[in-house]
Amino acid sequence: MHSRLSEFADHYWGEYLGKIGTAIEPLSEEQVWWRPNEGSNSIANLLIHLHGNLGQWVLAGLGGEPFERHRDAEFAARNGQPKAEMMDRLRATVERCRAVVARLSPDDLARRHKIQKYELEGYRALFHTVEHMSYHTGQIVLLAKLHGARLDFYPQHRGE
């Protein structure tokens, strides 16, 4: 189970990263920072948040690496970093997460970890990060489409 779950995490983190990059590539900086309303996040907030979540849960929580996170600031930001810089940082974080997961043993993943307010097995924490990135990838894609981005991730399914 360990190697399969690690393979799945690696695969889906890469897939989601690709979709996010494709979705934001045609957007302006203003569009990336746009919020539909005050109760919603911008694409930029979600990029910053994914970096923070992966860093806290995988790098620090599972890998024991130092990582400082300011979760409230992830959602409070209204402008700042360019989209290319945020994508580069997210890519680097995903690569570091892949390296951490590759070195984790089955015992590491079976062991309970305290992450945020939760105490859970490493397997659950790893699974959470994959589904969490999936959730926010969908939000990013929807926001990009609202800005007119034409995205076709599954051309092989056209005409079915």
Residue 155 has pLDDT above 90, yes or no: no
Count structural domains, the chain.
1
Work out whether the CA dihedral 138, 85, 56, 16 comes out positive or negative: positive
Pairing of strands 112-115, 118-121: antiparallel
3-state secondary structure of 78: coil
The confidence score (pLDDT) of residue 1 equals 45
pLDDT in tens, 32-79: 999 999 999 999 999 999 999 999 999 999 999 999 999 988 998 998
H-helix or E-strand containing 115?
strand 112-115
Q: Which amino acid is at 134?
A: S
Residue 84 sits in a domain whose CATH number is: 1.20.120.450
Note whether 113 and 119 are within 8 A (CB). yes
Q: What does DSSP assign to residue 63?
A: T
pLDDT in tens, 80-123: 899 999 999 999 999 999 999 999 999 999 999 999 999 999 99
Burial class (CB in 10 A: 0-12, 13-18, 19+), 155: exposed
* Domain span including residue 54: 2-157
Nearest-Å Rg of the Cα atoms of the chain is 16
Q: Cα separations (Å) of 65 from 26, 59, 117?
A: 34, 5, 18
In angstroms, how far is the first alpha carbon of the chain from the final one?
34
